[in-house]
Structure 1
Amino acid sequence: MSLCRWGKLCFNLPRLTWSTSHMAAHHSTARHTIHFSGNSSATENSSPLKTYEEVKNYYGKQLSNTKDLKTSACAAPSKPLPLHLKAALDQIHEDISSRYYGCGLSVPESLENCIMLDLGSGSGRDCYMLSKLVGQKGHVTGIDMTDEQLELSRKYIVFHTEKFGFQLPNVDFVKGYIEDLKAANIKDNRYDVIISNCVINLSPDKKAVLREAYRVLKDGGEIYFSDMYINKALPAELKESKVLWGEGLGGALTWKELFDIAADIGFCTPRLVTARYITVNEELKNIIGDYKFVSATFRLFKVPKDAVKVKCRAVYNGGITGYEQKLELDANITFKVGEAVEIDEELSSILKCSRFVDKFSFQEAGNMPCSGSSHLSKETIRNPFELAEALSNGAQYSCSGDSGCS
C-alpha cells in the first residue's frame, strides 16, 4: 500500500478485503468495501497499515512542495515544450501548480473533444491543463484517493472554467483507487485517452492498474504515461526503504517488466516517447549505490483483437493543433506532412483504429513511392536507458510542435 507522488493512496491488498469499519481509524471518509487481488510488489514483511502510515507521513508532513523531493523526477521534461502546451500550463492557478509532483509531461497529441482520465490526479494540475486542450465538448476526470488533494483540486473548478472561457465545467474529480476503477464507477470502454504522471511506479500492483486502464479504454484508445524505471531489480531490503518508496524508486519496474505486463493484458507493444536519467541527492546515492533510474514516457494502445494488420504506407495530412507540419509519434518515428512512410502491421492497426485515423491517408505498400524514411528500416529503440544515454551524450530532440518551443 502506498501514497502516490501527490499524496494519493494507491494500494492493493492481495486476497484481503477491507471494510469501512476496518479503515475508519485511519481514513474516516471511506465509503465502500474495497476488494483487491493480484500481484503485489509492496514490502512483504511490513504490515499494510504501517506502510500506509509511513508513506502518508512522507507526503503529508515531510513534503510541502516539489522542492522537497530528493530526486530530479519532477524536473522539466527532456523534450522541448510546444508553446500551445506552455500557454495552457501558464493559465493554471498557482496553488495547483505548486503541489505538482509529476515526472515528465503526460500530454499526447490530438486531444480536441476527447474523453480523458487522469490516474492519480493529485492537485489537478494535469487535469486542468487537459481540460483546456480537449475543449468544451471534451471532458477530463481525475481519480485520486486522498481527501486533501481532492479538496484542493475541486476548489478551482469554477476558476478554471471561467479562465478558459467555458460555459460549463468539463472536468471533475472522483475518489477512488487506481487499481480498482470499477469501485469508483469508472465504466468500461469509455475513455479515448488515459494519462498518468509518476504514479504507477508507486502502486504495489501495477498489473492491476494497467488491466483496469485497458478495461475502461475505448477500442483504439491509449494510456500515455510517465513513470520511473530501474536498470535492475532492487533487493528486498532496499524496497523497504521509506525514502526510496516515497520517492518512487523502491517500486520502479524494469522496462522489460512493463513490456511483459502490457503483452499479458493485451496492449500493443509499448512505444517509447522520451527518457532521461534521474539524478538523486547524496542521501539517496548512499542508499542506491550503482542502481540507475530513468524517467520515461510510454504510450500503450488498445487495438481491437480483430483489427486488420497489414504493412502499408502512411501519409500524415496535418491538422493536429501544435503539430501542423510534423507528428513525432514516439522516439522512433516522425511523420512529416505529405511524406509517405512505410510502417509495420502493428503501427498500421494503431493509426487506423485510433483517434489519429482522420489525420492520415493510407496506401498499400507497393502502390506509391516512399518519399519519407521507412519506419521498417530503422532499429527500434525500446530501452529507455538507451535513449536516455543517447540524449545525455548530445543527441538533440527537435521541437515536435510547429508553433515553437519554450
Structure 2
Amino acid sequence: MQGYTHKSMDAAPLKMQGYNETKDAVKEYYSKHLKTSDDLLTNACCTGAAPPDHIKAALKKIHPEVISKYYGCGLCLPEHIEGLSILDLGCGAGRDVYIASQLVGAQGRVVGVDMTPEQLDVANAHKLYHEEKFGFANVEFKLGFIERVPRRDLHEGPVINLSPDKEAVLSEAYRLLKPGGELYFSDVYSDRRVPKALQEDSVLWGECISGALYWNDFHNLAKKCGFLDPRLTKDSVITVDNKKLEGKLESHCEDYGQAVIYKGTIPLCQDVFVLDSHHSIEKGKVFPVCGNTWRMLHDTRFKQHFDFLGSFDTHFGIYGGCGTLIPYACAQSGGTAGCSSC
C-alpha cells in the first residue's frame, strides 16, 4: 500500500473512543487469525533487508516455530550491547528476544513483554531449547501492555504501531530508561495521516497499517515525551534511536565547533561506525559533529570508543550539515545580520 513503508508515531496521539476495542481486536488478530507469517495479508509487517552475517548466525540457533511466528518489520538492535539489559516491548513469540539473548551474552539479560498469551506460550515453550543452544539462561517473558510496564533500567525495542495510545507508549519508554539508555524501534510509518476509515479497520490494525503514524507527528510526539533529538538510522528498515540524556539535548543541531575521532574498537564496526543515516564515522578521521551528536557519543556507552574534540564554551549557531538552516531568505542568500522583514 503506497505511503506505508516504514516507521512513525503520532504527535496528536490516537486516543479513539474504542481504545479497549482496538486493543482487543489486535490481540485477537495475533492470537486467533495469525498462525504463521504466511497468514499476513499485506507486506507491511515484513522485513525487507537481509540481516548482517552475525544476525544470520544468531537466527540459525532459534527454534523453527519461533521463526514461523515472527510478524515484525525489522530487527532494531544497536551495536555494542554485550552485557546490557534489553526490554523488548511487543516481543510476540520471542524471535528478537532470542537474538538479543545471544548478543548480550551470559552477563546480559533480555525481558520480553507482550499482551498475547498465545504468542508468549510459544516463546516460553522453547526457553530450554535456546538455553541449551546458547549455553546460558538470560531470558524472561512477561504478559502485559506496553503502555504500562514495571520500572526497569533498560535499553528498549518496542512495537508502538499496534498501540492505540502512542503517547502513553513513548512516555512509558522514556520513564523506564536510565540516563544514557536508548529507545530503538522498527515499525511502519506513513507519509501522511491515516484516514479515519482505515483507523477503524480491525484487520488493517493487525496488519500494521491502521496504526501507522505520520512521520512528522512521530517526530513531534517523541520530543514531547522527552526524546529531544530522534534519529533515523536506516530508511529501508527504520530504527529510531532516542537517547535519554537528562534534558541535555537541544531541539536543533547546534554548532559548537566540536568533532570526534572513532578508535575502531566497537566489535563488527572496526572501520566505520554508523550512528544514524547521516553519521558514518570512519576510524581515525576527525569527524565534525553538532552538540547533540557529541553528547550522544560522549554521555553513553560509546564514550570509550571515541576521542572528543572541543567543548560547549563557544556557540557558532545552527549546525548547517545536520540541523535546520535559518529560514529567512536574507541569511540563506548570504546576507548580513539585521534582516527583520517577515
Shorter-chain TM-score: what band?
0.7 to 0.9
Alpha-carbon distance change, 311 to 219 in structure 1, aligned in 2, over 3 angstroms: farther
Alpha-carbon distance change, 249 to 147 in structure 1, aligned in 2, over 3 angstroms: same
Alpha-carbon distance change, 240 to 161 in structure 1, aligned in 2, over 3 angstroms: same
Query: Following superposition of structure 1 onto structure 2, how do residues 3-402 of structure 1 map, counting pairs within 5 Å?
Result: 41=14, 43-44=16-17, 46=18, 48-49=20-21, 51-78=22-49, 80-166=50-136, 169-181=137-149, 185-187=150-152, 190-191=153-154, 193-196=155-158, 199-276=159-236, 296-305=238-247, 310-364=256-310, 378=321
Between 313-322 and 132-141, report the one with greater CA deviation: 313-322
Measured in 2, the distance between the counterparts of 1:101 and 1:216 equals 25
Alpha-carbon distance change, 341 to 236 in structure 1, aligned in 2, over 3 angstroms: same
C-alpha deviations, 1:127-156, integer Å up to 9, x for none?
Answer: 111010001111111111222222211122
Alpha-carbon distance, 1:74 to partner: 3.7
Measured in 2, the distance between the counterparts of 1:307 and 1:257 equals 19
Measured in 2, the distance between the counterparts of 1:53 and 1:298 equals 27
Look up the match of 1:35.
none
C-alpha deviations, 1:173-208, integer Å up to 9, x for none?
Answer: 112110011xxx333xx11x1112xx2011011111
- Extract unaligned runs of 5+ from structure 1: 1-38, 277-294, 366-375, 382-406
SS in structure 2 opposite 1:361? strand
Alpha-carbon distance, 1:234 to partner: 2.2
CA contact (8 A) 1:74 1:102 kept: yes
Measured in 1, the distance between the counterparts of 2:87 and 2:105 equals 15
Alignment-mate amino acid for residue 297 of structure 2: L
Measured in 2, the distance between the counterparts of 1:40 and 1:307 equals 23
C-alpha deviations, 1:25-66, integer Å up to 9, x for none?
Answer: xxxxxxxxxxxxxx862543x4734x4453344323322111
Measured in 2, the distance between the counterparts of 1:307 and 1:255 equals 21
Measured in 2, the distance between the counterparts of 1:105 and 1:174 equals 20
CA contact (8 A) 1:77 1:105 kept: no
- Extract unaligned runs of 5+ from structure 2: 1-11, 312-318, 325-342
Alpha-carbon distance change, 163 to 152 in structure 1, aligned in 2, over 3 angstroms: same
CA contact (8 A) 2:156 2:173 kept: yes
Measured in 1, the distance between the counterparts of 2:139 and 2:207 equals 28
Alpha-carbon distance, 1:273 to partner: 1.2
Alpha-carbon distance, 1:311 to partner: 4.3
Measured in 2, the distance between the counterparts of 1:122 and 1:225 equals 14
Measured in 2, the distance between the counterparts of 1:258 and 1:66 equals 27
SS in structure 1 opposite 2:185? strand
Look up the match of 2:316.
none
SS in structure 1 opposite 2:86? strand
Alpha-carbon distance change, 54 to 146 in structure 1, aligned in 2, over 3 angstroms: closer
SS in structure 2 opposite 1:137? coil
Alpha-carbon distance change, 314 to 52 in structure 1, aligned in 2, over 3 angstroms: closer
C-alpha deviations, 1:366-401, integer Å up to 9, x for none?
Answer: xxxxxxxxxx553669xxxxxxxxxxxxxxxxxxxx
C-alpha deviations, 1:220-258, integer Å up to 9, x for none?
Answer: 111110011111112222211122212111111111111
SS in structure 2 opposite 1:202? coil
Measured in 2, the distance between the counterparts of 1:161 and 1:247 equals 32
Superposition RMSD on alpha carbons, in Å?
Answer: 2.4
Structure (1/2) with the larger strand percentage: 1
Measured in 1, the distance between the counterparts of 2:24 and 2:246 equals 42
Measured in 2, the distance between the counterparts of 1:213 and 1:119 equals 9
SS in structure 1 opposite 2:54? helix
Alignment-mate amino acid for residue 186 of structure 1: R
Alignment-mate amino acid for residue 178 of structure 1: I
